[in-house]
Amino acid sequence: MSDSPTIFVLFGATGDLAARMVLPAFYTLARKDLLPPQWRLIGNGRGDVAHEDFRTDVRNALAEYGPEVDDADWEDFSQRLLFAGGGFDESGPGSLLDVISEVKDELDDAAEPNFVHYLAIPPKAFESTAKALKQHGLTDRARVVFEKPYGTSPEDFRHLDQVVHEILDEEQVFRIDHFLGKEATQNLHVLRFANQTFAGVWHRDHIAAVQIDVPETLDVANRAGFYDATGALMDMVVTHLIQVAAEVAMEPPLSLGAEDLQQARESVIAAFRPLKPDEVVLGQFEGYREIEGVAEDSDTDTFCAVRLWVDTDRWHGVPFLLRTGKKLGVSEQRVSLVMRPVDGPLTAPEQPNAITLSLAGSGSLEVDFVLKQPGEGVKPAQVRQRLELDEIENADPLPPYVALLYDVLTGDRSLFTGSAGLEHAWRVVDPILREAPALQPYPPGSMGPKAADELAAPFGWLSGDR
């Protein structure tokens, strides 16, 4: 697909997600020469926006959120940007079909173009847009990227998945999760499967707990309407953190090919035990209900911490601790394997040893050791070695959206979860959706409700303390 003429249609092109994530990713792909030789990007929205005005909007988005724009590159890039207004639904395509027809006339007519439809739109519009793609003949030679969350409840997920599969083959569907596109998340595979030092300890005999911790200092900003209808559990745990937990917990796949990786990921999610209300802490930061766009009596969770159990021989008895929230004291994205104390003549250190991957930015690896403090006698000293992944020789890290969009172009589904995996993820959180624990307030700048600390006993949460 990558060498054929390709038309990208970006639904929701004037929205916040497109500006912050998708458009900068497209520009980066162009700068790195990772797009097909012949491509066009058509933005779609309800308003009537001239092509030149859309190009100005894209330039402004790149200035605020994207990489530095090179004037020479921009000249070529901008001329490939167009806009189709008037909306898009089953009753009418707006001007999209007309603009596509114009683009086809410009492209090499020796080959039919491929399509990548990117749905950067609210989840409630996924079904109607998918049906409209079918109605207006835009599903052949097409791949469709769905943003998160893919469904807002187990029942809604099943309904949406059924509708989508009536329109598209599973191989055409790419449910994007930018956490799986992070360099450090992908490095979990290489770290574990290419290094006996780590492969040998990836087991309950050596690991006391796994922490996947994503606290944020940010509030909901201009996403209040979306966030108030979603919350931390659905926005982060279902969509992101369960998938990262699967990356840690999976059994070794036969290969790192897409089919084998997906099967390994989905198989272990099927072994995740459904959550219990007494092992989940939900919170809401004080002042949340005063934000414009948030209901005065909102019971939306802005914090979620869970203790998850994986019913496999490898992980039996090892808690997977997942935490995320808004307006917390630190911003971090960490996967930590907390090691068991060593039995022997030396006193265990106060802080347990851990192997930690930071998922932020290009990622880093931290490994704790206890060594002899140089000098007289035998005095254990705790040391930490840190490796920045972007400092590896010849490193050229790709931001998550860039990596995942490139995978869509090449048809590589290894970092995309299939519907079976999401079905299992919804099963895990379903008990909490049906019987949620009481919402607990917490002050901005704290690390959330105190009850969450009890979930991580006896070691405590490592983020913010290391």
Which DSSP string do the residues of 150-166 spell out, in sequence order?
Answer: S-SSHHHHHHHHHHHHH
pLDDT at 466 over 50: no
Q: Which of 154-158, 162-166, 403-407, 460-464 is the least confident region?
A: 460-464
**Does 148 carry a binding-site annotation?**
yes
At residue 376 the predicted structure's pLDDT band, cuts being 50, 70 and 90, is confident
Q: Do 244 and 97 belong to one domain?
A: no
Q: Is residue 158 part of a domain?
A: no
**Does 251 carry a binding-site annotation?**
no
Q: Do 83 and 211 belong to one domain?
A: no
- Domain extent for 352: 183-455
CB 114 within 8 A of CB 141: yes
**Angular region, 464: left φ>0, alpha ψ -120 to 50, beta rest:** left
Q: What is the mean pLDDT of residues 228-256?
A: 92
Residue partners of 33: CB distance under 8 A and separation at least 6: none
pLDDT at 384 over 70: yes
User: How many helices and strands, by DSSP H and E, does the chain display?
Assistant: 16, 15
Q: Is residue 190 part of a domain?
A: yes
Q: Is residue 460 part of a domain?
A: no
Domain count within the chain: 2
**Does 109 carry a binding-site annotation?**
no
Q: Do 343 and 394 belong to one domain?
A: yes
Q: Do 196 and 139 belong to one domain?
A: no
* Last residue of one domain, picked from the residues 130, 147, 164: 147
Which residues are catalytically annotated? 240
Q: Is residue 156 part of a domain?
A: no
Q: Is residue 107 part of a domain?
A: yes
pLDDT in tens, 411-429: 999 899 888 899 999 999 9
Cα 453–458–461 angle (5° rounding)?
Answer: 45
pLDDT at 349 over 70: no
Q: What is the CATH number of the domain that holds 303?
A: 3.30.360.10
Q: What is the CATH number of the domain that holds 116?
A: 3.40.50.720
Q: Do 104 and 17 belong to one domain?
A: yes
Q: Do 43 and 113 belong to one domain?
A: yes
Look up residue 279 and give its amino acid: E
Cα 87–88–90 angle (5° rounding)?
Answer: 135
Q: Do 352 and 244 belong to one domain?
A: yes
CB 432 within 8 A of CB 233: yes
Q: Is residue 250 part of a domain?
A: yes
What whole-number distance in Å separates Cα of residue 466 and Cα of residue 461?
10
Q: Is residue 155 part of a domain?
A: no
Q: What is the DSSP letter of 176?
A: -
At residue 26 the predicted structure's pLDDT band, cuts being 50, 70 and 90, is very high
Q: Do 62 and 210 belong to one domain?
A: no
Q: Do 192 and 138 belong to one domain?
A: no
pLDDT at 1 over 90: no
Q: Do 314 and 212 belong to one domain?
A: yes
pLDDT of res. 39: 95
| Reported pTM | 0.91
**Does 216 carry a binding-site annotation?**
yes
Q: Is residue 171 part of a domain?
A: no
At residue 109 the predicted structure's pLDDT band, cuts being 50, 70 and 90, is low
What whole-number distance in Å separates Cα of residue 464 and Cα of residue 448?
12
10 Å CB burial of residue 391 (0-12, 13-18, 19+) is exposed
Query: What are the DSSP calls for 245-306, one per residue?
Result: HHHHHPPPPS-SSHHHHHHHHHHHHTTBPPP-GGGEEEEEETTGGGSTTS-TT----SEEEE
